[in-house]
Structure 1
Amino acid sequence: MSETSPFYLQGFLAPVADEVDYYDLPVTGALPYELNGCYARNGPNPLPGDDPGNWFLGAGMVHGVRLRAGKAEWYRNRWVRTNSFVEDAPYIRADYSIDLTAVPANTNVVACHGKAFALVEAGVPYEMTFGLDTVGPFDFGGRLKTAMTAHPKHDPVTEEMHFFGYGFRPPYLTYYRLSPEGELVESREIEVIGPTMMHDFAISSGHVVWMDLPVVFDVMTLSRTGMPYRWDDAYGARLGVMPMTEDAKVTWHDIDPCYIFHTANAYEDDSGRVVLNAIRYRPDAFKSVWTEIEGQYDPAASAAILGRAHLHRFVIDPANGVSEEQLDDLDIEFPTWNIDRTGDDNRYLYAVSVDGIVKYDHRNDSTEFYKVGRDQLPGEAVFVPSRHSRGEDEGWLISLVSGAEDTPSELLVLDARDLTFVASVQLPCRVPEGLHGSWLPYDEEQEAA
């Protein structure tokens, strides 16, 4: 890659040129026998010779490693074949309408009611097989009328899934709820100040937590950088709490200006207050990172996507507003937890820093750290519970660790209880640093696919 190429085509982010399949991968250590599924990780990967103008606009590519019975059966990577990828369809049509299928689908990949979805918040989900081939766009039988967030939330108690869509035209924010059977049973507009960029949200056992923050749509920014959002000091910042009942109203609370890409779970304490943990950017930190994302970046520095954000806690009291505290001073991103604790008071939280993986123990106010090798970057560390686990942290963390250009990658498996090394799958190729990963557990139907 030329030294004059944009940063998002160099180093850890440099795209790969081909789709490949490799089988019977070498393993160091011992893979847990009960891990039966695929670790899948999504991220931007432009086609050879293509400069999308911004890293976030690159075509989505899903990378997967299939684990079963103590073996790493295969690694493969596949571009998500969206309408923009296959047909070069424009997102904004000639009549200024939006094609929600003409998106890169490059942000996340999640399991949903026996399906796998590649997601990006600008469009509809794209269904994938568990072998990572594209099935096509999915709109829940025509009931999804907007884009869908890349961060839906599954309630482990009710088996419902909550998600939202946002856009730069009214309605700016729409809430959706899926039944335990996967049917879209509720959709309604949530009033916000304007066209805010809402990347994530949270749920507690009885509430949805919204974040209406001062990063907003701006057509002039779109024409200049390819990314249609900018910081707006005048917009304000607030958190909204909405009961999980039909037609419930949102109660909004002002907070200090900040931005949050990713929440780190929410729950209700013994006093009925809603507690939100999140990765918070100060205004200056967000502006700096966003400038880098827009292309003004020194690739000799660490990857921009790991940012300069810290773990914060917001306590939302209906009577007294919001109190806030910073829990740690480590620069982190991509928080994960045992998803069986979503909406509940989780003791353990995991996150990624520039040089390793961190575990937080909220009860003991302590941290543990696993450092990756030199010139490596860990991807999102996904928690996979042990089949017969009794403790919240009984299971494994799985992360796809990337190196710089021409450096093969590895799938790292750690014991989530103490971050000790369990196993490493050596990949015969390089995987670029990307965005979100998920564990796709297999059942009998997926085994045959």
Structure 2
Amino acid sequence: MLDLNPLLVDTTSSSSSKHPYLSGNFAPVQKCYPLTPCSYEGTIPADLAGGQYVRNGGNPAINNDESARESHWFDGDGMLSGVLFRRVERGNGNENGDERKTTTIQPEFVNQYLVTDVYRFAQENRHWMRRPFMPSISALLNPCTSAVRVLLKVLRTVALVLLSWLPGWSKTKVKRISVANTSVLYHDGRALATCESGPPLRFMLPGLETVGWFNGATTENEPSSDYEKIDKAGGAGFGGKGMLSFMKEWMTAHPRVDPETGELIAFHSFSCKPYVSYTIIPRSGVSTSPRLMSVPVPGMAGPKMMHDFGVSKDHTAIMDMPLSLNPLNLLKGRPVLSYDGAGKTRFGIFPRYHPERVQWVETNPCCIFHAANCWDTVSGEDPDNRNGLEPMATVNLLVCRMTSASLIFNAGNLPTPVSKAPIPREYQEEEQCRLYYYSFSLTPLNQRILHQFALSAIPFEFPTLSPAHAMTQARYIYGCTTTSPSASYTSSLGKSVKIDALAKIDVTTLIARGTAPDNPCPPESIKGCVDNRSVSDILTSSTEKEEENDPIQIFTFPPSHYAQEARFVARHNDVGEEDDGWLLTYVFDESQIDRESGECMEGAKSELWIIDAKGMKEVVAKIRLPQRVPYGFHGAWFGEDEVLGQRDWTAHR
């Protein structure tokens, strides 16, 4: 049987009429907690003291319980859910009268809405806001939705924005339409929440209070900014000046922060030329790093849905997939967001500080939403002797590659459209989502893809690695997988994404196997795979020694327990190996769901699990939270130095 979509596990009751992404533990929670002490079992690692784990995700605040309305997993107001590992020091006197202090850790849970313009406007006008401010992504995906209906939904949002600016109608002026519900990161004293439909939104640790929008030049509600001088001197933020500036400041939900230089690297995609631009924001006080603000990247033929990208120490790799995000698609009888299974995927590679030198290479169509890592290797001098000194560089990229856009439609409880155009035979692949390896030669006269194949046949998404090893040749990549091989993208209506296992992949070993010149059976380009075992094959390793040396290790959760994206946190020492640390993930026991209604029982709660990342077997601690945390998107670990090192802010808006 083909493993068509192993990331989808059906645990949704067929008797439930609700949208699968508005029921069970996907349903929004109704209560926000301030920092609240939690009980726990096990031993919390001392290295976590003072730090905080925070995860972002959609939690619709308006019309969040109606089964018939259009909805998509990517919709919903942003909500942060965090656990602070508060450092508690106690003094103990001894018989000599000496005062000795001992440190303990008290975990505290907190969750807060991100107070975006859209959220604030809706809350101020709850008496007449019967539908969400923004049209659902499902409306942009559904081929059965007429162009007129989509246009009316868009015009309604435009009308609400204009209404917010009229005197006497609302205290909140809607300047940006982002819900900031996708990811979180830390840069230069700011914790930031991100989403494709706007710039980052700053929030405070550990209470998760919203500060204001950060546009690359200034931040709302900060008393001062290093970039204010630039802004006052005539510079601008991500979007520049002009009528369309609000659209051009939309930023990827996955900007990268270089662990050595502290630079924030990002791209912006929008629906007008040049379609993609590129930004680098240096850390304050670092004069050696250039500041690039929304510099055009040449070579894009049209607007695309671009979620993530790769960044190495010296290069940047952007991904142009056949996934268009274009309002003009409606004139062609296609949804605004449309996938072309007969198109091409293109990779644009350029030196970090020179997007104008982008080199494009193309390959078979696919969908890539998350990049795991990117790094450079150098092999000898430039054979074309372009400058006589420059070595030949290879850019390596690890991504989670899907063979279609089916997951996007499934997350809106929509059937995947059947392509009207014939798909060439060489493009036809079974539905899958795997960890893929690409390498790109940057020889000036012969840019090409050297390698492209899957490292493992197991399903793999939501990747993470040791942050200190990002942008270098890291050995281990962690991610989410599942033990169930039976579900599929194409038969997933009424079902939802569930994660019941985590995987640790030794990518160095598998890349070496796949590229070894003496390999008698090298993986086929594009469709090939280095390790063809399933999750069940890996779990049934014959001996403990074989399991220890296995390049793929699987951590499985108990029956009915499902996790979310995990984050790696390293142990604080100078001699620890790359995998010496822990994986943090929220876990929910679905035995707390009523099987008849499909709804969570009253009092249902989640836990935060701390898993030994080296052995992938031991749960060192389970923290009991005061309520459940809905299945969401991306999180981050904020160390104690980051929590304590934040910039000042004035007050709530």
Matches within 5 A, 1:67-216: 67-69=85-87, 70-88=104-122, 93-94=158-159, 101-130=176-205, 131-140=207-216, 141=218, 142-145=236-239, 146-181=249-284, 185-187=291-293, 188-191=295-298, 192-216=300-324
1:312 aligns with 2:436: yes
Matches within 5 A, 1:7-26: 7-21=20-34, 23-26=36-39
Q: What is the alpha-carbon distance in structure 1 between the residues aligned to residue 305 and residue 314 of structure 2?
A: 24
C-alpha contact 2:368 2:402 (8 A) present in aligned 1 = yes
C-alpha contact 2:361 2:447 (8 A) present in aligned 1 = no
Q: CA deviation at 1:370?
A: 1.0
Give the length in aligned residue pairs: 435
C-alpha contact 2:278 2:296 (8 A) present in aligned 1 = yes
C-alpha contact 1:403 1:432 (8 A) present in aligned 2 = no
Describe the SS at the equivalent of 1:8: helix
1:238 aligns with 2:346: yes
Deviations 1:233-290 (A, max 9, x none): 454211111012345410000111101000110111242211111100012xx2x212
| Structure 2 spans left out of the alignment, 5+ residues | 1-12, 88-103, 123-132, 135-153, 163-173, 219-235, 240-248, 380-392, 416-430, 482-498, 511-550, 591-599
Q: Which moved more, 1:425-434 or 1:180-189?
A: 180-189
Indicate how the Cα distance of structure 1 residues 291 and 447 shifts in structure 2: closer, same or farther if over 3 A, else same.
closer
TM superposition score normalised by structure 2: 0.62
TM superposition score normalised by structure 1: 0.89
1:282 aligns with 2:468: no
Q: CA deviation at 1:314?
A: 0.6
Describe the SS at the equivalent of 1:57: coil
Work out which of the two has the higher radius of gyration on C-alpha atoms and give 1 or 2.
2
Of residues 448, 460, 471 in structure 2, which corresponds to 1:321? 448
1:341 aligns with 2:469: yes
Q: What is the alpha-carbon distance in structure 2 between the residues aligned to residue 109 and residue 160 of structure 1?
A: 16
Q: CA deviation at 1:3?
A: 2.3
Q: CA deviation at 1:393?
A: 1.5
| Structure 1 spans left out of the alignment, 5+ residues | 298-306
Deviations 1:340-377 (A, max 9, x none): 11211000110012211111112334011111122222
Q: What is the alpha-carbon distance in structure 1 between the residues aligned to residue 328 and residue 356 of structure 2?
A: 36
More helix per residue? 2
1:355 aligns with 2:479: no
Structure showing greater relative contact order (alpha-carbon pairs closer than 8 Å, 6 or more residues apart): 2
Aligned equivalent of 1:304: none
Q: What is the alpha-carbon distance in structure 2 between the residues aligned to residue 254 and residue 448 of structure 1?
A: 46
| Aligned-residue RMSD, C-alpha | 2.9
Q: What is the alpha-carbon distance in structure 1 between the residues aligned to residue 160 and residue 274 of structure 2?
A: 19
C-alpha contact 2:296 2:356 (8 A) present in aligned 1 = no
More strand per residue? 1
1:399 partner letter: T
Aligned equivalent of 1:303: none
Q: Which moved more, 1:346-355 or 1:399-408?
A: 399-408
Point out 4+ residue stretches in structure 1 off by more than 4 angstroms. 89-92, 94-97, 220-223, 445-449
Q: What is the alpha-carbon distance in structure 2 between the residues aligned to residue 316 and residue 96 of structure 1?
A: 44
C-alpha contact 2:196 2:307 (8 A) present in aligned 1 = yes
Between the aligned residues of both structures, percent identity stands at 30
Deviations 1:35-67 (A, max 9, x none): 121110000111163356322121111101111
Q: What is the alpha-carbon distance in structure 1 between the residues aligned to residue 330 and residue 433 of structure 2?
A: 25
Q: What is the alpha-carbon distance in structure 1 between the residues aligned to residue 352 and residue 619 of structure 2?
A: 40
Describe the SS at the equivalent of 2:61: coil
